[in-house]
Structure 1
Amino acid sequence: MEVNASVFFSVGLAAVVVWRMRRFLDLPTRAPQLDRLINFFWVPGIVLYLFALLIHWKTDRLDEIYTLLLLSMVVLVLVRVQEYRPARTLLLAVAPYVLYAVIELLSGALSSDFLREYRGLFSNSKGFAIIWLITFVLIARKQKKHLEIERVQREAEEKERREIAAQNAVLESMVAERTASLTQQTEELQHALEELKTTQAQLIQAEKMASLGELTAGIAHEIQNPLNFVTNFSDVSAELVTELEEEQQRPDRDAALEAELLADLRQNLQKITHHGQRAASIVRGMLEHSRASTGERQATDLNVLADEYLRLAYHGLRAKDKSFNATLNTHFAPDLRKINAVAQDLGRVLLNLFTNAFYAVQKRKEQGQADYAPTVSIATRQLPDGDVEIRVRDNGTGIPEGVRQKIFQPFFTTKPTGEGTGLGLSLSYDIVTKAHAGTLEVESQEGRGTEFIITLPA
């Protein structure tokens, strides 16, 4: 019965040790095969018990042998999972106790007298081993708690990284979708810009053609006068030649009459030449206006240029409306110096300003004011600093204050739909300010008239 109680006590104590060790080291996860193996920790105890009964071994060393076997199993388990830091600490904790148990068992087996003689030493050693074991078990528990905290932190960090990765994936997907959308919008805007540029080029060309049409109408009316003179003087000259031939065939020729006829003929030919040159000048101006600007600058007399385009614009409007009449006032500075400019470009500017002026006075005339006299004025002036100033004034409808700041913007027009493209003043502003480094300003009173002021550097 003594052997029975001792062995079963040792087996019960081993069960507690194995259970605690499995939980502490988390053996089912770290070493599942080893965990299943140590479930048979009770086998050595039962074997020893049966062996003692068989040979009638009545010794008090049976529990010590089983304890040593149990400690050996614990050491083997700790060696297998020594990559786990608390396991290494536990291995260090049980090593002195295992060493003490081996020495005590061997000493008792070899000589019981030796064991009794040094019992005090063995008791002290056992106490030291137990204190060492408890101390390092506590250290191992602290390490396990610390590792558990680190594990929780790592899991939290890993969870946070996964959440961040998921958010990044969502953001990347959103960015990709947004990028694709922006790319599509960019392509659409690029396409719209190309269409806008094409439309703008077409509108500019339409504005030039409209300007050319107005100029052509003025030229057709203006060129009619010199052509009529050429025709009339040609007919008169032909009659003079016929009279001269008849006089030469008479037997009593009148020398004085022949000289008078020749003088008249010479005078007619001079007038034909003069009006022919005038017609050629008008045609040349039309060709210069119709062709693209070369940008070549040359000395330009602004008085001549302004007078020519004023009359061309006026006759162009009269070609459309025979009932329209207006007073043309010119105040040209006699001391105006020529400036280095692109004459055909400035001609387009003046033609635009004159056309707008005649349009404004015509619209005011249509309002039915009885005492209203349409008047368009052009004045040039030499400024003290050497610059040249051109003022184009009308007494038409004027420009409302709300739209006065917009009149030089492209495609902005105060005319009804179909009567203007909104590019005339914009092109004129660019020609004056950008191409000739000048200024183009406007002063207007609604219902009273408008004045455009061009300043060109010398």
Structure 2
Amino acid sequence: MGHTAKLKPDSMNQDEIFSSFITLAIIWQVRRFLDTRNRIPQWDRMLQRFWIVNVSFVILSTAIDEDFPLRLIWLFALAAITYTVWLIKDNQSARTLLIALAPFMFFMAISKIIQDVFPHFAKAHDDFFESINGFALFWLIGFFIVANRQKKAQVKIDEERALEAEQRRVIEAKKQELEYLVAERTAEITRQKEELELALVELKSTQTQLIQSEKMASLGELTAGIAHEIQNPLNFVNNFSEVSIELIDELVDEQVKPHRDTELEAELLTDLKQNLQKINYHGGRASSIVKGMLQHSRTSTGQREPTDINSLCEEYLRLAYHGLRAKDKSFNALFSTDLDSSLGLVSLIPQDISRVLLNLFTNAFYAVQQRQKQGGPLGYHPTVIVSTRCVNKEAVITVADNGTGIADDVKQKIFQPFFTTKPTGEGTGLGLSLAYEIITKGHNGTLEVESKVGEGSKFIVTLPG
């Protein structure tokens, strides 16, 4: 170039070499500041090799014995930084950093080129170039502070976003976990619901069978009692029929005699009439027993009708006793009634109340039978007493026995379905439950029990008049 700025290789301006290596520090600071390793890893590897450019320009300057290539390194560094910012142009702190570095690096390169190419001009305007470089330096410092603040703010925002993203991820994971648990629980509940529905269907079927079994057991006891009870009137009918036939034969014989005894004929006719009256009475008795059995076995219509409770009590007390006697011929018991004649007719469902009475009477006889088998006290006589009263326009039926009695803890469960104190095969546990339902829900009455273990029990039925 033919001016004093030219240097020999062995006397190269050490300041220019040092200045060129400042660009390496700037490039390193830019990489660190903008975190190019994570943001743009491929380009970061190129920036890492910028030292090769520096060394190449130093070697070139040494080879041609000129500082000019070292001036251009600032422009190369500025171009590399500009491209870096363009790659992450959405980052505000990167743009601010470019605004901070560009004037300083540009003026550094231009001023050094002018000093090298136009040394006289540079020397004449040395103050101007120093002012510009000083301004660029202050500009660099000021905008670097701004960029640093923006970076911190951006880091905070990124951290908040990362935290929010992590929270969303956790929430999403929890949501998926909850959805899975809900789906699993829903499937489990659905399965349990189906199992319960199936169990309910089976339970209803079993309950229907047990209720039918209880009715059939009750009907069996009734039938056994009726078979024994109906035998008496049938015996009377047969006996008086035979006697009546004999009386008719005597009357016919008397009528064919030449000398008829009118007084004997009148006496025979009187006896015959009395026999027929007794046959009619006992036939009616047998008919009423059969009618009671049919009413008991017939499905309840739910229709109330005026009914003589006293007659029902007498009828079913005998039937219950003879029903138990049909199973155990050795069993004997005393039973009596104390019936209020002023009770009159009570509006009720006869079939249902007959089932209640038969159940209560059967249980009473069963209790005294068990106490007798257990070896009751000396002189013990199994006894069942049934009484009726009219109290405050309500019909009160009391069934008392001197049987085994009921413990307090059992009394609390005695009206529960399927609860029984009888051995397996002797009871369904539905008799008292059905009786309680019929009295309380079917007739709006009450069914209560009083009992002491070893002394007996008393069942009290109250029916509205």
What is the TM-score normalised by the length of structure 1?
Answer: 0.86
- Is 1:17 paired with 2:26? yes
- Is 1:290 paired with 2:297? yes
Query: Is contact 1:390-1:455 (8 Å) kept?
Result: yes
Quote the offset at 1:235 in angstroms. 1.3
Q: Mark the CA change 1:412 to 1:234 in structure 2 (over 3 Å): closer, same or farther.
A: same
Alignment partner, residue 270 of structure 1: 277
Counterparts of 1:146-157 in structure 2 under 5 Å? 146-155=153-162
Alignment partner, residue 138 of structure 1: 145
Q: Mark the CA change 1:141 to 1:272 in structure 2 (over 3 Å): closer, same or farther.
A: same
Quote the offset at 1:95 in angstroms. 4.0
Alignment partner, residue 381 of structure 2: 373
Unaligned stretches of 5+ residues in structure 1: none
Quote the offset at 1:377 in angstroms. 1.0
Q: Mark the CA change 1:181 to 1:33 in structure 2 (over 3 Å): closer, same or farther.
A: closer
Alignment partner, residue 30 of structure 1: 39
- Distance in 1 separating the partners of 2:239 and 2:332: 27
User: SS state of the match for residue 342, structure 2?
Assistant: coil
Q: Read off the aligned partner of 2:271 and give its amino acid letter.
A: D
User: SS state of the match for residue 412, structure 1?
Assistant: coil
Counterparts of 1:202-351 in structure 2 under 5 Å? 202-351=209-358
Q: Mark the CA change 1:83 to 1:193 in structure 2 (over 3 Å): closer, same or farther.
A: same
Alignment partner, residue 3 of structure 2: none
Match of 1:201 among 208, 220, 231: 208
User: SS state of the match for residue 389, structure 2?
Assistant: strand
Q: Read off the aligned partner of 2:435 and give its amino acid letter.
A: S
Query: Is contact 1:396-1:449 (8 Å) kept?
Result: yes
Alignment partner, residue 458 of structure 2: 451
Counterparts of 1:73-222 in structure 2 under 5 Å? 73-97=80-104, 100=107, 119-155=126-162, 158-159=165-166, 161-162=168-169, 165-166=172-173, 173=180, 176-222=183-229
Query: Is contact 1:11-1:42 (8 Å) kept?
Result: no
User: SS state of the match for residue 421, structure 1?
Assistant: coil
Question: Which stretch of structure 1 is more off in the superposition, 79-88 or 351-360?
Answer: 79-88
- Distance in 1 separating the partners of 2:99 and 2:60: 33
- Distance in 2 separating the partners of 1:7 and 1:282: 138
Q: Mark the CA change 1:368 to 1:26 in structure 2 (over 3 Å): closer, same or farther.
A: closer
- Distance in 2 separating the partners of 1:456 and 1:368: 34
User: SS state of the match for residue 422, structure 1?
Assistant: coil
Q: Mark the CA change 1:72 to 1:318 in structure 2 (over 3 Å): closer, same or farther.
A: closer
What is the TM-score normalised by the length of structure 2?
Answer: 0.85
User: SS state of the match for residue 337, structure 2?
Assistant: strand
Counterparts of 1:393-432 in structure 2 under 5 Å? 393-432=400-439
- Is 1:390 paired with 2:397? yes
- Distance in 2 separating the partners of 1:368 and 1:74: 116
Query: Is contact 2:445-2:461 (8 Å) kept?
Result: yes
CA offsets 1:111-156 (integer angstroms, 9 cap, x no match)? 8777666554443333222111112112323333443444455545
Query: Is contact 2:443-2:463 (8 Å) kept?
Result: yes
- Distance in 2 separating the partners of 1:7 and 1:22: 23
Quote the offset at 1:159 in angstroms. 4.8
Query: Is contact 1:10-1:66 (8 Å) kept?
Result: no
Query: Is contact 2:31-2:37 (8 Å) kept?
Result: yes
Q: Read off the aligned partner of 2:438 and give its amino acid letter.
A: I
Quote the offset at 1:110 in angstroms. 10
- Is 1:67 paired with 2:38? no
- Distance in 1 separating the partners of 2:17 and 2:106: 24
Quote the offset at 1:281 in angstroms. 1.2
User: SS state of the match for residue 335, structure 1?
Assistant: helix
Q: Mark the CA change 1:404 to 1:363 in structure 2 (over 3 Å): closer, same or farther.
A: same
Question: Which stretch of structure 1 is more off in the superposition, 42-51 or 342-351?
Answer: 42-51
- Distance in 2 separating the partners of 1:31 and 1:406: 82
User: SS state of the match for residue 128, structure 1?
Assistant: helix
- Distance in 2 separating the partners of 1:63 and 1:368: 131
- Distance in 1 separating the partners of 2:422 and 2:274: 50
Query: Is contact 2:60-2:69 (8 Å) kept?
Result: no
Q: Mark the CA change 1:192 to 1:113 in structure 2 (over 3 Å): closer, same or farther.
A: same
Q: CA RMSD in A?
A: 3.2
